[in-house]
Amino acid sequence: MTATEDLFTPIHKGLRSMLYNLSSRLQTNDFADATATAALATDLEHDFAVARSAGCVLCVMGKHASDEETQIFVAPPLAGQRLVTELIEEHHDLTRRELALEKGVHDISGLRSSEERVAAGRRLNAAANELLVAYLNHMNREETELTPFMQQHLTDAEMLGMQGKIIASMPPDRLFAILGWMLPSLNVTELSRLLASVRPNAPPPFFQAVTDLCAARVEPSRWQNVKLRVGL
Ligand SMILES: [Fe+2]
Ligand SMILES: [Fe+2]
């Protein structure tokens, strides 16, 4: 019988929101404005690299790729498959694009003339758009090509085991940074199911922290609806 677990879609929804947010901040910035551009650059450098914190955008994306490679892609039916090899190559390409974007943001802080900043801002937007396209395509491949393969060749229990290992290996601050993007990106049914499945076995303070995060980040009417469905 075909399994039904899908390890990629929920986390990818969070990553998509993270990328859309980055794209939106870049495309609305007026690079002719030195103050606004300096503030954006500081903000993005902090998000990307300086902090190297649990929630750092590039750290989250990099950790996601390494979690996939170490906990999922190495499973016997997957390891060595052409699709998996290609997905790993895509991870390397995405890392190169992320580092180039990080450098572009860093370099823009040093530009003095409005013309130079506007030109650099145009290049930065183009680089971010290309990263977005490549990243969206990559996640689509994992969801539309790899998930069906995994559902054919693995059991739900095996997939949940992989997911459990990934979650158990995450420091709590990184887990909550990722949940902060993922929870508001799920639809009512997905979020209700997730909370209902976590609730029975989670320590009460952990579950409370997750619902507090939902209250803070999920769109209020959607959260209201989820609370009704889950009985919170
Ligand atoms: Fe991936
Ligand atoms: Fe992925």
Q: Which pLDDT tens digit goes with each residue over 2-16?
A: 899 999 999 999 999
Sole residue written with tokens 């551009």: 37
Among 92, 93, 117, 91, CA closest to 105: 117
Q: Rounded to the nearest whole angstrom, what is the distance from the C-alpha of residue 71 to the centroid of ligand 1?
A: 12
Q: What is the pLDDT of residue 52?
A: 61
Q: Rounded to the nearest whole angstrom, what is the distance from the C-alpha of residue 68 to the centroid of ligand 1?
A: 6
Residues with CB in 5 Å of ion ligand 1: 68
CA 93 to chain centroid, in Å, comes to 16
Ligand nearest to the CA of 13: 2
Q: Rounded to the nearest whole angstrom, what is the distance from the C-alpha of residue 100 to the centroid of ligand 2?
A: 20
The low-confidence residues of the chain, meaning pLDDT below 70, are 1, 49-54
Sole residue written with tokens 């650099």: 120
Per-domain boundaries in the chain: 9-171, 186-232
How far apart CA 227 and CA 191 sit, in angstroms, is: 10
Ligand nearest to the CA of 89: 1
Ligand nearest to the CA of 84: 1
Residue 189 phi, psi dihedral angles, 5° rounding: -65, -45
Q: What is the architecture of the domain spanning 9-171? A: Up-down Bundle (1.20)
Cβ atoms of 98 and 58 within 8 Å: the answer is yes
How far apart CA 186 and CA 10 sit, in angstroms, is: 7
Q: What is the pLDDT of residue 49?
A: 67
Q: Rounded to the nearest whole angstrom, what is the distance from the C-alpha of residue 8 to the centroid of ligand 2?
A: 6
Q: What is the pLDDT of residue 77?
A: 92
Region class of 101: left (phi > 0), else alpha (psi between -120 and 50), else beta: alpha
Ligand nearest to the CA of 15: 2
Token pair of 217 as six digits: 């980040």
Among 116, 105, 5, 19, CA closest to 60: 19
Q: What is the pLDDT of residue 189?
A: 97
CA angle 127, 132, 133 (to 5 degrees): 100
